[in-house]
Structure 1
């Protein structure tokens, strides 16, 4: 079986006082026997290769190792390089543009949104709008208020969503994909 290159999108890394140097994060992934481990910027994006085909088991193994090593849970969303490329090629934000007061955020999901979750959905405060979703990601337009994002994009789904989410700005996701493709 050939190896697959994954991008691990980690939630809760280098936010809220939980600081992890990328060198340490790469060591933790290497300890799991994963190959060609690299990272991109400080927000918890790790690239690696593996022949493991059971993504759910691999995700659990990574999450358990990170929690045991770091002392807190680190929800992990794994996507292949091809999946991220396909997502970007689909132009999920067609008709929306980033600007001085608007950010486009892809929120990677640990599980699909609940059945019947209506989209698009706009927050009562008008600070975000969920403009679309597929089983692995939701597409959120953040409207800055007072020059700030007042809502965590990974937490916009409310109590009806039992899964986890971690967001990446669309422009950053393009850079993550380019970095993941480099040998």
Structure 2
């Protein structure tokens, strides 16, 4: 059976005073017996190979190991290279005019949003719009106000949403995908 290349999008890495060197993060993944472990930039993007398996169990195993080693929970959104490639190729932001005040973001989700969630969703402050979503990612346009990003679009998810998310700029996701494919 061929191994699958996964991309782990980690939340809570190198934000809020929680600093983790990528060398340490790669070592933690390698301790789990995962192959060809690599990382991309300092924001918690790890590539590795593993036998195709129960993704939920693999995610829990990684989260448990990271929490034990780092002392705090690290939510993991695990995707295959092919899944990220599908999102990038679909170009969910094709109709968005990019200006210096606009940032395009993907929020990788641990659970799909509820079926009755209606798009688009607009921030009351006008600082973001959620254009749509797949089961694994929400497509968010961020509008800079006074040169700064505003509130977190995940606050628009309904209170009944029990999942988590971590965001990456769309252009960064394209680079992450390219790095993961170099394998």
TM-score normalized with structure 1 length: 0.96
What SS is found at the alignment partner of 1:5? strand
Per-residue displacement from partner, 1:104-132 (whole Å, max 9, x unpaired)? Answer: 00110000012311110001001000001
Equivalent residues, number: 183
Unaligned runs of 5+ in 1: none
Per-residue displacement from partner, 1:118-175 (whole Å, max 9, x unpaired)? Answer: 1100010010000010100000000011111112345442523210000110110110
TM-score normalized with structure 2 length: 0.96
Q: 1 CA distance for matches of 2:14 and 2:154?
A: 15
Which residue matches 2:145? 145
- Runs of 4+, deviation exceeding 6 Å: none
What SS is found at the alignment partner of 1:106? strand
Which residue matches 2:42? 42
Per-residue displacement from partner, 1:82-107 (whole Å, max 9, x unpaired)? Answer: 11111111111121133211000011
Change (3 A) 1:155 1:38: farther
CA contact (8 A) 1:155 1:165 kept: no
What SS is found at the alignment partner of 1:73? coil
Per-residue displacement from partner, 1:51-83 (whole Å, max 9, x unpaired)? Answer: 141100000000000001000000000110111
After superposing the two structures, state which structure 1 stretch, 95-104 or 28-37, moved more: 95-104
RMSD: 1.1
